[in-house]
Amino acid sequence: SQTIHQWPATLVQPVGSPLSLECTVEGTSNPNLYWYRQAAGRGLQLLFYSVGIGQISSEVPQNLSASRPQDRQFILSSKKLLLSDSGFYLCAWSTGSGELFFGEGSRLTVL
Amino acid sequence: GQNIDQPTEMTATEGAIVQINCTYQTSGFNGLFWYQQHAGEAPTFLSYNVLDGLEEKGRFSSFLSRSKGYSYLLLKELQMKDSASYLCAPWGNTGFQKLVFGTGTRLLVSP
């Protein structure tokens, strides 16, 4: 069966520090991968998606970047965090024909 | 682009029935997803409608009208554990499964 893991689960970082959130999927090949962000009390905002290794599409220009170094690995990064980067980050995968499967989420607080 | 409209918040009592509406405008249309998200957790899949009409799945049913750009989620015999946000997500025909979510409807079930 397929599983998705993301980490860390919780992160507290100072403004201006770097960020790296990692997500891996097991049990499937060539998944579509996604990063979403949910600010407190807000809806899910699609940040990045990827259809294959090295292929990244950005939805919203911002202080973040994403990479897909391996088929089932998706990384969200920032060189210098802003206060507005605080939120609940969710990785997800799909086969492209229906349901999205979400990871457990990573809660980032930027102070 | 996509426009998705849902009520921000709804309240109901245990044992009651509640209907959560969603209207959408999207470029092309493949189908519509409903997800449930408890506070602090990742969304979980509830339903996916492709054809017009009502689809029932236990206490939850989802309705779709493609011509009207309208869907609703019907929750029967409400339980306290149904207190959560309910996210409407039309799947637009972008050539790629890029799921954009509405801001969600926060449902509070009281005793």
Distance from A62 to chain B by nearest Cα, in Å?
18
Q: What is the pLDDT of residue B1?
A: 60
Closest residue of chain A to B39, computed from CA coordinates: A41
Rg of the Cα trace of chain A?
Answer: 13
Which single residue is written with the structure tokens 């090295």? A54
Q: What is the per-residue pLDDT across A36-93, written as a single tens digit (0 to 9) for each?
A: 999 887 889 999 999 999 999 988 767 899 999 999 999 999 999 999 999 999 999 9
| Number of alpha carbons in the 13 Å side-chain half-sphere of residue A84 | 3
Q: Which of B24, B26, B91, B97 to mutate to test the interface with A (most CBs of A within 10 A)?
A: B97
Residue B98 scores a pLDDT above 80 = no
Closest residue of chain A to B4, computed from CA coordinates: A43
Q: What is the pLDDT of residue B91?
A: 85
Average model confidence (pLDDT) for chain B?
92
Say yes or no for a CB contact (<8 Å) between A100 and B45: yes
Position with higher pLDDT, B29 vs B83:
B83
Q: What is the pLDDT of residue A59?
A: 85
Q: What is the pLDDT of residue A19?
A: 97
Q: What is the pLDDT of residue B18?
A: 98
In angstroms, rounded to a whole number, what is the distance separating the alpha carbons of residues A62 and A79?
12
Average pLDDT over residues B26-44: 90
Whether B90 and chain A come into contact, CB under 8 Å, resolves to no
Say yes or no for a CB contact (<8 Å) between A99 and B44: no
Average pLDDT over residues A17-42: 93
Q: What is the pLDDT of residue B101?
A: 87
Q: What is the pLDDT of residue B95?
A: 59
Say yes or no for a CB contact (<8 Å) between B96 and A51: yes
Closest by CA to B69, choosing from B41, B38, B27, is B27
Q: Which residues of A touch B99 (CB under 8 A)?
A: 34, 46, 94, 100
Q: What is the pLDDT of residue B103?
A: 87
Closest residue of chain B to A87, computed from CA coordinates: B40
Neighbours of B1 (CB within 10 A): 8
| Residue A99, Cβ density class (10 Å: 0-12 exposed, 13-18 middle, ≥19 buried) | middle
User: Using 50, 70 and 90 to split pLDDT, how confident is the model at B102?
Assistant: confident
User: Using 50, 70 and 90 to split pLDDT, how confident is the model at B26?
Assistant: confident
